[in-house]
Structure 1
Amino acid sequence: MNKIILSILYTSLLIAYIVIDIAFNDELWDVSKSFALSMQKSIPVFEQLVYEFFSDIVFIPPIAAFYCFIYDDNKLNSLLYLSVVVTSVTTNEILKNIYHQARPYMIEPEIKSLKCNSDYGKPSGHSQNSLVMLILMPVLLFPSIKQLRRNKVQVEFQENLDKGESHSGYTIYSIKTSEIRNSQQQVNTNIQSKCKIAMKLMLIIFILLSIVMTGISRIFLGVHSLGQVILGWVWGIYITLMYIFVIHDPLKQYILKLLNPQRNRLEEINHFIPMSFFLLLILLGLSLGLLKLNSLVYYDKQDMSKWIARINECQSTHYTKDSPQILFNSCFQLTAIGAVITGLLVGAMLAQGSYEEGLFNKWRQKLPKMQHFKRLLLLLLPYLFLIPFLFIQSNSVVIQLICKILPLSFGAGFIINGVFPTLLRRFNLQIPGDFLFLCQRKYLLGDQSQNSLYQQIKEYNDQYQHTL
């Protein structure tokens, strides 16, 4: 189906649910209140631990993305996955500042606050982001997961055939031998099919269970209403479908085209770096506008004082309406996480590296453990320079955003795509298939060609064959 038609269809369905959500907001709140109170009547320790696990499951997929970027061929998809997650988080915070709806424990005295989130509650960030992360994880990070068992069965089948063959220099074929082999092939084909179906079912069940349990856990913990959770799911579905069916393929092909060594990248650098900062300024401008709108127009002193009092009671703090950690101030700060994408773009453009998928795993297997450790160290050490920013504290939300959140977010992206590949090249730890692979300076002069990259890879090939 045409991508434009799909975009219109998904957007229309999203708008339709938004209208329904607005119309039935009070009814959903009442149902959610009754549901939460019934769940919180008795709180066994094990049950609470289960809900807290699913509430924190959103931290697992980023770890998987980090693993794929370091130890797998799927490096570009790992970065695209990170970018989609960052986009979802940023979108969620903007929406919270638009809805400016309190969390249940801030309003309903009967609902216990088992978590003490202090920003707005609608839509649920955990529900939205967990859906995006969990569905995109097999799609982007592990697209070949369904083939793992199949490959294993094929290897075992081939090994069995090899053991049964004659090694006298020739093979005697007979009807009986052919029938046995055909029978073995049929049996193993059936095993393949059953294993693939079983793995797919287990994966689908795990993803669906995790998504549902994450939403329910947020209601149980008193930090979200049913309407907030469902709206988070709807936005998560929208972002996921739009990315998978509309954005991913053309975006990936465009990036691969930019990273083709045949192209001169000076024009792209001059274009992308200003554009990335311009988009970041638009994002921050929108967020700042919502911040001021909330503090000047939507700010109800009596209601806000009650909400802040519940937050302070839950967290044992003394926040005021101007504290950067709460409500619209917190939402404003978290939109700056979008600067991660700017850091990724700027780093990639300045590094001017190339990317050839499918080469990395071949070379990674030949590296000694010490080389792996050094490479990981070169990625992690630059992040030490960001640690001082973590300790910056200010009562001004704007100062804290400019001096803390922006440097941390931009720096995190820039280190991955800019500093890390440069250090790998500098310390001679780069291997073909890295993202980004930096050619020697002599290959960057004049018109670049595909042969220059392959010549560089051949040099690395000779070097590693000699040293390993």
Structure 2
Amino acid sequence: MNKIILSIVFTTLLIAYIVIDIAFNDELWDVSKSFAISMQKTIPLFEQLFYEFFSDIVIIPPIAAFYCFVYDDNKLNALLYLGVVITSVTTNEILKNIYHQARPYMIEPEIRSLKCNSDYGKPSGHSQNSIVMLILMPVLLFPSIRQLRRHRIQVDFQDNNEKVEPPTGYTIYTEKNSELGNSQYQVNTNLQSKFKIAMKVILILFILLSIVLTGISRVFLGVHSLGQVLLGWVWGLYITLMYIFVIHASLREYILNLVNPKRSRLEEMNHIIPMAFFLLIVLLGLSLGLLKMNSLYYYDKNDMSKWIARINECKSTHYTKESPQILYNSCFQFTGVGALITGLLVGAVLVQGSYEEGLFNKWKKKLSTLYHLKRFLLLLLPFVILIPFLFISSNSVVLQMICKILPLCFGAGFIVNGAFPYLLRRFNLQIPGDFLFFCQRKQLDDEQSQDSLYQQIKEYNDQYQIKL
């Protein structure tokens, strides 16, 4: 189906649900209140730990993405996955800034607060991001598992298949061997098919169960209503479907063209830096505008005082309405996470390396544990520079955003795609197949094509052959 038609269909369904959500907001709140109170009548320790686990399960997929980027061939998809997650987080914070709806425990005395989130509650960020993270994890991070499994079975079959090689050098299969081979191949194929179906069913059930339990856990913990959870799921599904069916293929192809070793692409890459900063400024401007609009038009002194009192009671703090951690202030800060994408783009443009997907796994198996440890330390060490920013604190939400959130996020992105590739090259720890393989692209003449770069990679491969 045409991507434009799909976009229209997905967007129409999203708008339809938003209208339904607005129309039945009060009814959903009442149902949610009764549901949460009934769930919290008795809170066994095991049950609380169970729901807290699924409330925090969203930290697992980013760890998987980090693993793929550091230790697997699938580096570009790992970065794209991270980009989609950041987009979802930023979108959620902007939506919270628009809806400015309190969390249940802030305004319902009967509902206990087992978690102490202090920003707005609609839509649920955990529900939205759980859909994005958990559905895209097998789609983007591990899409080659089935192919690798199939390849391994076929290789095992070929290795075990009996062959007769006469002195002529030709391979001759006897009728007996051929029949046995076909039979064995059929058995392997059937086993593989059953294994694939079983794994798919288990994976789908786990993803669905985790998404549902994440939403329910937020209601149980008193930090979201059913309406907030449902809207989070709808937004998460919208972002996921739009990315998979409309954006991913084109975006991936565009990035692969940019890191393709052709000099004609270098000027196009350099346009990314001003574009990235422009988009970041637009995002922060939108967030700042919503921050001011909420404080001027949606601020109710009595309501806000009650909400902040419940937050302070839960957290044992002394926040005021100006504190950066409170309500729309917190939402504004979290939109600064978008600076991470800007850092990734700027680092990639400055390095101007290449990406040959499929080479990395071939070489990493041949390297020692010490070699891998050195590479890992080169990735972590630059982050030490960002540690002082963690201790910056200010009662001004704007100052905290400028002096803390933006440097941390931009710095993290720049280290991953800028400092890390450079340090690998500097300390002779590059592996062919690294994302942004650092080579002499800037020295290519106009007449030279990508063959020049491929020759550099081949020479680098030869060095590894001698080294190993």
Q: TM-score range by the shorter chain?
A: over 0.9
Indicate the residue corresponding to 2:277 in structure 1: 277
Could you tell me how far 1:155 is from its partner in structure 2? 4.0
Matched residues in 1 for 2:140 and 2:37: separation? Answer: 39
**TM-score, normalised to structure 2's length?**
0.96
Could you tell me how far 1:340 is from its partner in structure 2? 0.5
Over 3 Å counting, the alpha-carbon distance change for 1:29 and 1:150 in structure 2 is same
Indicate the residue corresponding to 2:365 in structure 1: 365
Indicate the residue corresponding to 2:199 in structure 1: 199
* Partner AA of 1:183 in structure 2: S
Compare 29-38 and 144-153 and name the one that shifted more.
144-153
1:340-379 equivalences in 2 (<5 Å):
340-379=340-379
Matched residues in 1 for 2:122 and 2:447: separation? Answer: 52
Could you tell me how far 1:180 is from its partner in structure 2? 2.5
Indicate the residue corresponding to 1:319 in structure 2: 319
- Cα deviation code 1:333-376 (max 9, x no counterpart): 00000001111111111111111111111111222222111111
* Partner AA of 2:452 in structure 1: S
* Partner AA of 1:232 in structure 2: G
Does residue 35 (structure 1) correspond to residue 30 (structure 2)? The answer is no
* Partner AA of 1:405 in structure 2: I
* Partner AA of 2:231 in structure 1: L
- Cα deviation code 1:309-353 (max 9, x no counterpart): 000000000000000011000000000000011111111111111
* Partner AA of 1:426 in structure 2: R
Indicate the residue corresponding to 2:257 in structure 1: 257
- Cα deviation code 1:191-233 (max 9, x no counterpart): 1110010011111111111111100110110000000000000
Does residue 15 (structure 1) correspond to residue 4 (structure 2)? The answer is no
Matched residues in 2 for 1:272 and 1:171: separation? Answer: 55
Matched residues in 1 for 2:445 and 2:67: separation? Answer: 34
CA contact (8 A) 1:264 1:447 kept: no
Indicate the residue corresponding to 2:237 in structure 1: 237
* Partner AA of 1:353 in structure 2: G
CA RMSD of aligned residues (A): 1.6
CA contact (8 A) 1:443 1:452 kept: no
| Identical positions, percent | 80
Indicate the residue corresponding to 2:180 in structure 1: 180
1:25-424 equivalences in 2 (<5 Å):
25-162=25-162, 165=163, 173-424=173-424
Could you tell me how far 1:449 is from its partner in structure 2? 2.0
* Partner AA of 1:391 in structure 2: F
Over 3 Å counting, the alpha-carbon distance change for 1:436 and 1:173 in structure 2 is closer
Over 3 Å counting, the alpha-carbon distance change for 1:172 and 1:354 in structure 2 is closer
Ranges in structure 1 where 5+ consecutive residues have no aligned partner = none
Could you tell me how far 1:59 is from its partner in structure 2? 0.4
**TM-score, normalised to structure 1's length?**
0.96
* Partner AA of 1:376 in structure 2: F
CA contact (8 A) 1:392 1:404 kept: yes
CA contact (8 A) 2:118 2:327 kept: yes
Matched residues in 2 for 1:467 and 1:149: separation? Answer: 31
Matched residues in 1 for 2:265 and 2:428: separation? Answer: 24
Matched residues in 1 for 2:353 and 2:448: separation? Answer: 12
* Partner AA of 1:63 in structure 2: I
Matched residues in 2 for 1:376 and 1:40: separation? Answer: 44
Matched residues in 2 for 1:271 and 1:172: separation? Answer: 59
Over 3 Å counting, the alpha-carbon distance change for 1:447 and 1:375 in structure 2 is farther
Ranges in structure 2 where 5+ consecutive residues have no aligned partner = none
Matched residues in 1 for 2:41 and 2:177: separation? Answer: 69
Could you tell me how far 1:270 is from its partner in structure 2? 3.9
CA contact (8 A) 1:147 1:196 kept: no
